[in-house]
Amino acid sequence: MSLVEPTVGAPERSRVRVRLVVAYDGGAFRGFAANAGVPTVGGALADALGRVLGRSVELTCAGRTDAGVHAWGQVVTFDAPEGFDAARLQRSVNGMCGPDVVVRSVAVTEPGFDARFSARSRRYRYVVLNRPVPDPFLARTSWWVPEPLDLAGLQLACDPFLGEHDFSAFCRRPKRAAPEEPASLVRRVLGAGWHDGGDGILRFEIEASAFCHQMVRSIVGTLVAVGRRSMRAGDVAGVIRSRDRARAGQLAPPHGLCLWSVAYDGWCS
């Protein structure tokens, strides 16, 4: 049942901007963006919200994650009729979409707030399971790398990524209608580093104002090459300067990646 009961002949109810924080297991989905005929996070969420509110909704997300990529702090905005019941909406959507997709919080926010364009930075986390034996309980959320990695090299190789660079060597360039005006792949990385829990679980976190397509997975693949000693930490700066995708490491698998949080003025997911 809709949470907003329509009244015949009543004027259109004014709308409010709603902000969701959403977590999901991306393994069963072909990314976030709605795509007819295939399961996507955005499609499942929009369908559930439409059923709850009794009208279609248009979603905006902070980051359009790729197929197989997870999220803990994805932010989604849309407009809903004023006076809707936020607690009931959360329960209803989670009942339809959970446990693969879960709304962690619902809030009414200022009218101009936009999940994508109001964001100041995004933080991604990538998990590498660095043990000789795989773990079936971590298989969906980590990349198993059995050979021992050079942790000092992994950390040292992060430094060249800091600051503003052209990340053409680490991104899949989007197709443009006018090839003579290619999209800029310049991004500013605010922080990057590895955290070793001492249990073979290595967590790489990177924060930037924005990311281009496959950027984090390409960076992780390059860093793991350094950890395997098939590339030197000192080579990374040259790879960045080259803008040549062929010089970077392999593309890390998607299931180890998670959109961890998104930062805005005065608030973070």
Give the pairing of strands 143-144 and 121-129: parallel
pLDDT at 198: 87
Q: What is the mean pLDDT of the chain?
A: 93
- Per DSSP, the three-state class of 125 is strand
**pLDDT tens digits for range 199-223:** 999 999 999 999 999 999 999 999 9
- Give the pTM: 0.92
**pLDDT tens digits for range 227-265:** 999 999 999 999 999 999 999 999 999 999 999 999 999
Q: Is 66 a catalytic residue?
A: yes
pLDDT at 181: 56
Q: Which of 3-7, 16-20, 138-142, 183-187 bottoms out in mean pLDDT, i.e. has the lowest?
A: 3-7
DSSP labels, 184-241: P-EEEEEEEEEEE-SSSEEEEEEEES---TTHHHHHHHHHHHHHTTSS-GGGHHHHHH
At 12, the pLDDT band (50, 70, 90 cuts) reads: low
b (16+ CB within 10 A) / e for 229-241 = eebebeebeebbe
At 183, the pLDDT band (50, 70, 90 cuts) reads: confident
Give the pairing of strands 70-81 and 257-264: parallel
**pLDDT tens digits for range 138-177:** 999 999 999 999 999 999 999 999 999 999 999 987 665 4
**pLDDT tens digits for range 98-117:** 999 999 999 999 999 999 99
Distances in Å between the Cα of 169 and the Cα atoms of 22, 140, 221, 230, 245 are 31, 27, 12, 18, 4
Cα–Cα–Cα angle for 121, 80, 25, nearest 5°?
50
HEC string of 26-80 equals: HHHCCCCCCCCCCCCHHHHHHHHHHHHHCCCCCCEECCCCCCCCEEEEEEEEEEE
Angle between helices 41-53 and 86-97 (to 10 degrees): 130
Mean pLDDT (whole number) for 58-73: 97
Compute the distance between CA of residue 251 and CA of residue 168 in angstroms, rounded to an integer. Answer: 14
**pLDDT tens digits for range 79-95:** 999 999 999 999 999 99
**Active-site residue, selected from the candidate residues 25, 66, 114, 199:** 66
pLDDT for 10 beyond 50: no
Domains with residue ranges and CATH for the chain: 15-109 (3.30.70.580), 121-264 (3.30.70.660)
CB 128 within 8 A of CB 143: yes
CA-CA-CA-CA dihedral for 203, 207, 213, 214, to nearest 10 = -20
At 119, the pLDDT band (50, 70, 90 cuts) reads: very high
